[in-house]
Amino acid sequence: MLSGPWSSPTCLPASFTLLELQRVHETVLGPCPPARRPAPQGDEAAVDDVLPDDRSKDTKVTKTPAQTLLDAVIRSALVPLLKAERFRKTGHTFRQATPRCVLVVNVQSSSGSNHDALKFTVNLGAFYPELNEVLGRGSWADPGATGPTEAHCHIRERLGMLTSNPSDRWWELRTGASPQDASNEVMELVRDRGLPWLRSLVDVESARRHAEERGQAVEAAAFFILEGRRDEARKLLADFLVARPNATAIRAWARQLGIVE
């Protein structure tokens, strides 16, 4: 449950179910560009890459040479860097819990990878437990090392989109070739671009501005509600509903909050 200035029950939809809102959110808003809404695969595909104190002694996973190269890149490029920033690691996902959000770094391998070669990218995101409740998407009791995945994050981005030449960047690893160049580049980009971007999202107002700039009107309106700025939320949702008159479930959600008539 929420506490503090956002604990009022008027902020939370009483009967709007998580499944309904998630279905409509994807149907009405449509999926974000692929570079910003990758399909998460890290946690499920990387059981053997958990840190030693998280690993079951009975777990035996056979990895391909290409997957072993990826593990080596993660250990050299990301583990020392993110450990120093107090991120916790599970599989190929790192999480840092802050007072208002959970910051997420995820390494995703391509579905087209094979025994001797694979491509991978780095996904970044920020998850806001308070925002999740306002949106009617459920609660997370302990959003720590086993908390939300990158796909659950309200603000998401690919590492390559934060460079001076934004692109949906994937790095390729092949057996017989050194992974050092890819490791160095990923480490530098996460350090110089990824972490500063994530840190900026710890501030709720900054996160709300980012959502507005990306056209995430529903999330931006929910951020306004968290900030106690219901008039701005009302205007944002009114404009959104004019542009999407068939967004009936979003309209119903806004009515539950008393934002629109």
Instruction: Say what the pLDDT of residue 17 is.
Output: 43
Cβ-count burial of 243 within 10 angstroms (0-12 exposed, 13-18 middle, 19+ buried)? exposed
Based on the domain organization, do 114 and 81 belong to the same domain?
Answer: yes
Secondary structure class of 224 (helix, strand, coil) = helix
Mean pLDDT to the nearest integer, 218-223: 94
- Is 64 found in the same domain as 185? yes
Whole-angstrom distance between the N-terminal and C-terminal Cα of the chain?
27
Q: pLDDT tens for residues 64-118? A: 999 999 999 999 999 999 999 999 999 999 999 999 999 999 999 988 888 899 9
Query: Comparing C-alpha atoms, which of 168, 160, 36, 38 is closest to residue 92?
Result: 38
pTM of the model: 0.74
Q: Is the pLDDT of residue 147 over 90?
A: no
Most confident stretch, 181-195, 205-219, 245-259: 181-195
Tell me how far CA of residue 8 lies from CA of 69, 159, 178, 260, in angstroms: 50, 37, 56, 18
Contact 70, 118 (CB under 8 A): yes
Looking at the structure, do residues 66 and 160 belong to the same domain, yes or no?
Answer: yes
| % pLDDT > 90, the chain | 61
Average pLDDT, the chain: 80
pLDDT for position 241: 93
Distance, CA of 60 to CA of 78 (rounded, Å): 24
CB-based contact 222:204 (threshold 8 Å): no
- For residue 76, the 8-state DSSP code is I
- Is 3 a member of any domain? no
* pLDDT tens string 61-71: 788 999 999 99
Average pLDDT over residues 12-21: 41
Q: Do 244 and 193 belong together in one domain?
A: no
Return the pLDDT at 140. 62
How does residue 146 score in pLDDT terms, banded at 50, 70 and 90? Answer: low
Is pLDDT at 202 greater than 60 in this prediction?
yes
- Domain of residue 242 covers 13-32+214-261
pLDDT-wise least confident of 50-54, 58-62, 113-117: 50-54
- Cα angle 220, 101, 42 (rounded to 5 degrees) comes to 100
Do 142 and 251 fall into the same domain?
no
Asked whether the beta carbons of 236 and 211 are under 8 A apart, the reply is no
Q: Is residue 146 located within the same domain as residue 191? A: yes
Q: Decide if 225 is inside a domain.
A: yes
17 shares a domain with 74: no
- The mean per-residue pLDDT over the stretch 15-36 comes to 42
Residues 6+ apart with CB under 8 A from 180: none
* 68 and 193 fall within a common domain: yes
pLDDT at residue 6 above 50?
Answer: no
Same domain, 195 and 234: no
The answer on 119 and 171 residing in a single domain is: yes
- Residue 2 placed within a domain: no
84 and 198 together in one domain: yes
What are the start-end ranges of the H helices in the chain?
18-29, 42-45, 65-73, 79-84, 129-134, 180-189, 195-200, 204-213, 217-226, 230-243, 248-256
- DSSP-derived letter for residue 33 is P
184, 203, 222 - which closes a domain = 203
* The pLDDT of residue 260: 82
Asked whether residue 5 is domain-assigned, the answer is no
3-state secondary structure of 133: helix
Contact of 181 with 154, CB cutoff 8 Å = no
- Where residue 38 falls (left for φ over 0; alpha for ψ -120 to 50; beta otherwise) is beta
Q: Which residues are CB-contacts of 241 (< 8 A; sequence separation ≥ 6)?
A: 247, 250, 251, 254, 260
For the chain, the domain total comes to 2
Cβ of 64: how many Cβ atoms within 10 Å?
15
pLDDT, average across residues 140-149: 62
Treating both helix axes as pointing N-terminal to C-terminal, what angle do 180-189 and 65-73 enclose, rounded to 10 degrees?
40
